[in-house]
Structure 1
Amino acid sequence: MGFFLETLTGGLMAGMLYALIALGFVLIYKASGVFNFAQGAMVLFAALAMARFAEWLPKLLGFESRLLANLLAFVCALAVMAAVAWAIERLVLGKLVNQEGITLLMATLGITYFLDGFGQTLFGSDIYKIDVGMPKDPIFVLESFFEGGVLLNKEDLYAALIAAALVAVLSLFFQKTGTGRALRAVADDHQAAQSIGIPLSRIWIIVWSVAGFVALVAGIIWGSKLGVQFSLSLVALKALPVVILGGLTSVPGAILGGLIIGVGEKLSEVYIGPLLGGGIEIWFAYVLALLFLLVRPQGLFGEKIIDRV
């Protein structure tokens, strides 16, 4: 039982990180109708910015405090992601308003490859580390209930708590603030929102900036766990099955989809993997997403599309 709980909690913690990245997809799709294939590249770009600024700023300004370096690096990386969001909206997507969905998707694919290449040019192509002070030592819990207790990784636990807190804050932002309500109005009907004075371009810059902030937090967490390398954008694409499962327009769906996939891939790898030779964790999420596309293409919480003729 203890081993099962270890696997279950590991899956839940991984699922919260998937949900955090999936939020970037959901936020942009809700506000603009654009499926942002570049979200994985944004996670990588943000992580590179954070890692390199944390390395450059102490040398440039002449101090040794790691905490100060991380704080300044976070602020600088956040400014960079806001600038990226502004440039994407102004120079690319703002020029493609009312175009076909496939046109917008191809535009985000182009943004993906541009960010990958520009990130390598700007920040370098080595493997960098992000050290924000999260403890990496494991701990044992529930020792009085199970022999030997349940082993948890402190870093995974803290990362999951940070992701959960950010998800909660973003949910409140959408539900309780004027800007959040404006974003939801734009998501429901662009033309109606514009007719009552909501400026679409400003809303889209805000939502891309928020998605950039989400990408930065996700990049810091994953970069701390795995190191900042160009395979990080592939890890971020694990969020694609999450949004398919939960629904492209649903914040709760992104959360639940992330938890389902995180738990499902861990349990399947541990209990079914040995029977099939392993490797289930790599493809489990995509097979589950494919099954949902066949049975319920709008996802668990997505809005069912009804065409009237």
Structure 2
Amino acid sequence: MGFFLETLLGGLMAGMLYSLVALGFVLIYKASGVFNFAQGAMVLFAALAMARFAEWIPKWTGLESKIAANLIAFVLAGAVMFVVAWVIERLVLRHLVNQEGATLLMATLGIAYFMEGLGQTIFGGDIYKIDIGMPKEPLFALDNLFPGGILINKEDVIAAAIAAALVVALSLFFQKTSTGRALRAVADDHQAAQSIGIPLNRIWVIVWCVAGVVALVAGMIWGSKMGVQFSLATVALRALPVVILGGLTSVPGAIIGGLIIGVGEKLSEVYLGPFVGGGIEIWFAYALALVFLLFRPQGLFGEKIIDRV
């Protein structure tokens, strides 16, 4: 029982990190109705900015406090992501208002390749480290109930708590603020939203800025765990099954989908892997997403599209 709980907790922690990356997809889709293939590049770009600023600031200012350097680096990286969002809206999205979804999709692909190249040009192509002070040592809990206790990674717990807090904040933003309601209106119909006075360009800047902050937090956490390298851009691929499962239009769906995927990967690898030679964790999420595409393509919490003729 103790080993099962340990595996379950590990899956929940991983699932929260998947949800954090998936949130970027959901945010952009809710505002523009297009799947943002640039989300992985945004995570990479934000992580590179955070890592390099944290390295440069002590040299520029003489700061000896790592906490202060990381805080300044986070603010500067956030400002960079705001500038990126403004440039994307000004140079790309503004000229694609009311265009077909396929056109916007191809635009995000172009943005992805551009951001990867720009990130390498500005920040370099080496492997960098983000050290935000999260503890690496494990914690043994419930040792009075289970022999040896349950192994819990403190870093995963803190990362999951940060992701959960961000998810709650975004949910409140979408449900309780006028800007959040405007974002949902823009997602439903660009032309109708413009006809009632919602400024589409400003809304797109806001949502890309929010998605940039989400990418920064995700990049900071994943960079702390894995190091900042260009393979970090592929972390978005791990979030694709999450948004398919939870629904492209649902913030709570991204959370539930991430938890299901995270737990499913861990449990299937531990309990089914020995019977099939292992490797289930690599493809389990995609197999589950395929099942949902066949039987419930809108996901668990997505809105079912009804075409009237």
Shorter-chain-normalised TM-score: which range? over 0.9
> What amino acid sits opposite 1:20 in the alignment?
L
SS at match of 2:151: strand
Deviation by residue 1:96-118 (Cα, 9 ceiling, x = unmatched): 12222222111111111111111
* Partner in structure 2 of residue 94 of structure 1: 94
> What amino acid sits opposite 1:223 in the alignment?
G
1:160 aligns with 2:160: yes
1:42-81 superposed matches below 5 A? 42-81=42-81
Shift of 1:8: 0.4
Shift of 1:21: 0.8
Q: Aligned partners of 2:108 and 2:284: how far apart in 1?
A: 26
* Structure 2: tracts of 5 or more residues without a match: none
Deviation by residue 1:36-73 (Cα, 9 ceiling, x = unmatched): 00001100000000000000111011221101110110
* Partner in structure 2 of residue 112 of structure 1: 112
* Structure 1: tracts of 5 or more residues without a match: none
Shift of 1:304: 1.1
Q: Aligned partners of 2:17 and 2:271: how far apart in 1?
A: 22
Q: Aligned partners of 1:199 and 1:41: how far apart in 2?
A: 27
Q: Aligned partners of 1:192 and 1:112: how far apart in 2?
A: 29
Q: Aligned partners of 1:102 and 1:179: how far apart in 2?
A: 26
Deviation by residue 1:257-278 (Cα, 9 ceiling, x = unmatched): 0000000011111111121111
Q: Aligned partners of 1:122 and 1:237: how far apart in 2?
A: 24
Q: Aligned partners of 1:242 and 1:94: how far apart in 2?
A: 29
Aligned partners of 2:81 and 2:209 also within 8 Å: yes
Taking structure 1 as the reference length, the TM-score comes to 0.98
Q: Aligned partners of 1:35 and 1:111: how far apart in 2?
A: 13
> What amino acid sits opposite 1:277 in the alignment?
G
Deviation by residue 1:145-166 (Cα, 9 ceiling, x = unmatched): 2121111000001000110011
Shift of 1:188: 2.6
* Partner in structure 1 of residue 41 of structure 2: 41
SS at match of 1:6: helix
Greater shift after overlay, 277-286 or 74-83? 277-286
SS at match of 1:139: strand
SS at match of 2:92: helix
Shift of 1:94: 1.7
Q: Aligned partners of 2:92 and 2:268: how far apart in 1?
A: 41
Q: Aligned partners of 1:20 and 1:116: how far apart in 2?
A: 20
> What amino acid sits opposite 2:278 in the alignment?
G
- Residues 99 and 195 (structure 1), Cα distance of their counterparts in 2 relative to 1, 3 Å cut: closer
Shift of 1:236: 2.4
SS at match of 2:109: helix
Greater shift after overlay, 150-159 or 135-144? 135-144
> What amino acid sits opposite 1:198 in the alignment?
I
* Partner in structure 2 of residue 149 of structure 1: 149
Aligned partners of 2:98 and 2:190 also within 8 Å: no
Q: Aligned partners of 2:181 and 2:107: how far apart in 1?
A: 27
* Partner in structure 1 of residue 275 of structure 2: 275
* Partner in structure 1 of residue 125 of structure 2: 125
Shift of 1:7: 0.6
Aligned partners of 2:50 and 2:74 also within 8 Å: yes
Shift of 1:255: 0.6
* Partner in structure 2 of residue 223 of structure 1: 223
Q: Aligned partners of 1:237 and 1:96: how far apart in 2?
A: 26
* Partner in structure 2 of residue 235 of structure 1: 235
* Partner in structure 2 of residue 32 of structure 1: 32
> What amino acid sits opposite 1:219 in the alignment?
G
Shift of 1:190: 2.3
1:178 aligns with 2:174: no
SS at match of 2:130: coil
> What amino acid sits opposite 2:212 in the alignment?
G
Q: Aligned partners of 1:256 and 1:151: how far apart in 2?
A: 24
* Partner in structure 1 of residue 209 of structure 2: 209
C-alpha root-mean-square deviation of aligned residues, in Å? 1.0
> What amino acid sits opposite 2:110 in the alignment?
G
